[in-house]
Amino acid sequence: MSNCSHMRRSPLVVAALASALVACTMIIPGTMAHDLTRDAAEQERKRCDPDPVDPRLFGRDVIESEAPYYRYAMGGPNGREAHVAGVELELRPLPGVTAELLERGLLCRSAQLMLGHASPLPNEPYYLPGAWVTVDVRSGGGSLAVRVAAEDDEHGREILARAKAFLARPDGGP
């Protein structure tokens, strides 16, 4: 049985451990901050047409409802904790638009907005200034489900708030 309590932590050992920790954050995926402009430019180059995205895809009129999108983590009194990650939108189907085409259009819209190649609508939920969003579209039950999520709770709540404001009618009606 070994007892390491007699070992001292020299400044050299501490510096080596700190360097190793920094190196790990560069190697392990998901631990580095995004270079948002580079990511958006790469997405636009790989997946998008040079033309603007069809405004029917991201307009307010096609959205039927919104609800919070939650991610769950271990913890809390019930064994798991809910965190607001963004919003789930239910969209009316558009003639000739599949879930794949809608997802591509919304991803391209997000990239174009991030790069300043398009002007955002007030509180547009598919874009978050200064933060990366993910868009996932599924079809079923006669509608399209769009999940817009952020990487952290604060931005997730911001996406949800933007969606609610985006859908709010100026006259206060439903």
Q: State residue 171's pLDDT score.
A: 47
Question: What pLDDT is attached to residue 159?
Answer: 96
Burial of 117 per CB tally in 10 Å (0-12, 13-18, 19+): middle
pTM recorded for the entire structure: 0.71
- Would you say the C-alpha torsion 91, 97, 101, 104 has a positive or negative sign? negative
Q: What is the pLDDT of residue 66?
A: 95
Looking at residue 31, its pLDDT comes to 39
Residue 121 is predicted with a pLDDT of 93
Q: So where are the chain's domains?
A: 42-167
Mean pLDDT, consecutive 10-residue stretches, the chain (174 aa), reads 46 42 41 62 74 88 94 78 92 91 92 89 91 90 92 94 89 46
Looking at residue 170, what is its pLDDT? 64
- The class that CATH gives domain 42-167 is alpha beta
